[in-house]
Structure 1
Amino acid sequence: MDPEYAAALASSAENAPSAYQSASPTIEELRAAFVQAVTIPNKKYHEERLPPASSYVVEDKLIPGPGGDILVRCVVPVVPSDAQKFPVLLWIHGGGGCVGDIEIDDYHLRRISVDLQIVTVNVEYRLAPEHPFPAANDDCYAALKWVAEHASEIKSDISLGFLVGGHSKGANFAAMLAHVARDDPFFDGRQLTGQLLREPAVVDSESDSVPDEYKADYKSMDENGNNPPITRAAIKNLRRMQGAPPTDPRYAPLLYPSHAGLPPAYIQVLGLDPLRDDGIIYEKALRKAGVRTRIDLYPGVSHGFHMSFPTIKLAEKGREDVLKGLNWLLGREAC
């Protein structure tokens, strides 16, 4: 275990939300605990480092979705020329499909938008168990189509870069969208150009759906299943609430019949994460299909550490690598 992470984890254990210690927390308890342990420390860290308010514009929009309006938060850099257009990143927050909202990454995305001169669109999708699978998938897909159709309204030009990304379950949705966009004629001439997958979940490794060629590679759930904050038991609970068939590739993107023709992928995985091998195996599957990939592994830390403990050195390294990875996806520099 990374020494800084070990110290932070030990210090936080006494104040851990009770829902994290309960065998059967309610969804309300889980959501409140997530805000306390993840959203608040992450927002506070990035709020203290926001660029000048004059360097970007934030606009919340309600866009049509299959279950009603979807909130998207758009961050647009401010530059001297009103005619300038920017690449765009559709971002999907994590939380197992059951907790979290666009507030988690809001301030970090503002920093990314200014640092990289890119428009970010942050999606507020419906959550399980109130809205089980595939409600969230459908909302994310509707948001992706909206960006493709309305890019000029948010001063973006998808020919400069059309990226999708997310963390944890958000990375799962991003991987799904890369496949759906590849196969949908709607996206002919406006294909995605890159995907950013932070600590992705790509298959239910506890089910029988894992392809035979990868079964022997799945060890992280056994090795790391008791590591906080997202243990094996917590993952099972979140998956139960989502209610998705484990064999559906919209839920388990590893199971799509082909990964050929997908946009380049930058992937981050964590050494102590129960989901570590999801990212490692998915990168292997993409590369085997001819997809350009880059992957970074951070040893000694577990799932979402950079949000709960954003000040430790590995968290800063991960954020720096995100910027490098996005620049690589945009064709600006080597990763």
Structure 2
Amino acid sequence: MSQYEHLSTPDPEFSARWKPRPPLVLNLAEISKMRQGFKAFAIAPYLKYWKERLPAESLYQVQNFDIPVEGGAIKARYLKPAVQDDRTIFPLLIWLHSGGWMNGDIDMDDFWLRNVCVDLQISVLNVDYRLIPEYHWSTALHDSYTAVKWAVDHADILGASISKGFILAGASSGATTAAAIVHRAKEDPFFDNRKITGHALQIPLLIHLDAYPKEWKSELLSMEQNKDAPAVNKDGIRGLCDLTQASPTDLDFSVLLAPHEGVPPLYIQVCGLDPLRDEGFLYEKLLREKGIKTKVDSCAGVPHNFQLSMPDIGAGVKFDKDFREGVRWLLANSK
């Protein structure tokens, strides 16, 4: 029995609002229809909620960039708190959106990130990496890794200082990519004197379904406990693993299998009704056992990415508040 099984008990407020719908079926032949559904069900209510909570335009600045990447260019949106003095610089957070590497864009989290930028007084670079099936799964990682380096090289233009804090963050597939990047960066001389100071992960996928080691069998039980969860279930995770065509032992996909020594402090969020729940708890444990500073928060009884469709319920408000406190904790531990 998992020590976290109690977190699977459905949240009453979520259950009262949830409208049953057909299980998620991933079909790249109908990618346009899938994306329309994701926008309608998940992104639309999230944008509406945070649009009503936008800070005054005078409190922040917005600038769009085209970042050169292999084979083309990607868009990125930069948010910076407004300043009276041009010499004022802020910590930097790089954000990678969710969507299973096949959905989403820089607009989906835009209003929320504007609020976070002003509240935390932190600069944010929101990265629009390329998606499958138009591009291979690994393109998202390569695009995001290039964007991270671009941000470091252009910190003066961005008005950011990585010495004040340099955090990689993301949700779901974006969190998977963020975790892969901090592991890659350990061995990259580019980051020798420009260290990433923390990573903040929301509900990440951290190991391929076909790569579960026997020694972790007793710790990775949520995939079965929550196999019929609302929104994203085990079949959906299976479909995603298959569609990416990622090798089960690819350390950029199965980050749990990577050596964790030397990664920066971790803040991680898990959802109790998420098949990926125990992967998050195990990742935190593995890093903590390596002497890395960690902090973990959970939202009981809600499924994967619930905060998009129900940001206003109690668990959604907690999820957002916990993230902000987690980033503050990372910034305090980056000094």
Which band: TM-score by shorter chain?
A: over 0.9
User: Do residues 136 (structure 1) and 137 (structure 2) align?
Assistant: no
Question: AA paired with 1:38?
Answer: A
Count of residues in Structure 1 that have an aligned counterpart in Structure 2:
324
The residue aligned with 1:326 is 327
Compared CA separation, residues 260 and 21, structure 1 to 2 (3 A): closer
SS of the residue aligned with 2:283? helix
Provide the residue aligned with 2:282 in structure 1. Answer: 281
SS at match of 1:268: strand
- Other-structure match for 2:242: 240
Secondary structure in 2 matching 1:131: coil
Percent identity, aligned pairs only, is 41
Task: After superposition, give the CA deviation of every residue in 1:113-168 in whole Å (9 maximum; x if it has no partner).
Answer: 00011000011111112211311110010011011111111110000000000001
Provide, for residues 8-64 of structure 1, a one-character-per-residue CA deviation record: whole Å limited to 9, x for no partner: 11xx33xx5x7x565857222211111011111111100000000111111110011
Superposition misfits of 4+ residues, deviation over 4 angstroms? 20-25
Which residue does 2:15 correspond to in 1? 6
Report matched runs for 1:213-224 at 5 Å.
213-224=215-226
**1:231-270 aligned within 5 A:** 231-256=233-258, 258-270=259-271
CA distance in 1, matches of 2:103, 2:56: 30
Partner in structure 1 of residue 192 of structure 2: 188
CA distance in structure 2 between the partners assigned to 1:21 and 1:120 by the alignment: 31
Q: How does 1:119-130 map to 2 (within 5 A)?
A: 119-130=123-134
Partner of 1:117: 121
Q: 1:27 aligns with which of 26, 31, 38?
A: 31
2:168, 2:199 within 8 Å by CA — same for their partners in 1? yes
Equivalent in the alignment of 1:70: 74
Matches of 2:108 and 2:246 in 1, distance apart? 24
- Please report how far the alpha carbon of residue 241 of structure 1 lies from its aligned counterpart in structure 2 after TM superposition: 1.8
**TM-score, structure 1 normalization:** 0.93
User: 1:212 Cα deviation (Å)?
Assistant: 3.2
Equivalent-residue separation in structure 2 for 1:67 and 1:245 (angstroms): 23
**2:303 aligns to what?**
302
For the residue of structure 2 that corresponds to 1:80, the secondary structure is: coil
Contact persistence 1:132–1:241 (CA under 8 A): no
Matched residues in 1 for 2:140 and 2:24: separation?
A: 27
CA distance in 1, matches of 2:252, 2:73: 22
Equivalent AA in structure 1 for residue 134 of structure 2 = E
Q: C-alpha separation between the residues in 2 aligned to 1:233 and 1:94? A: 18
Unaligned runs of 5+ in 2: 1-9
Structure 1 letter corresponding to 2:92: V
Alpha-carbon separation, structure 2, partners of 1:24 and 1:121: 31
- TM-score norm. by structure 2 comes to 0.93
Q: Provide structure 1 residue ranges, at least 5 long, that are not aligned to the other structure.
A: none
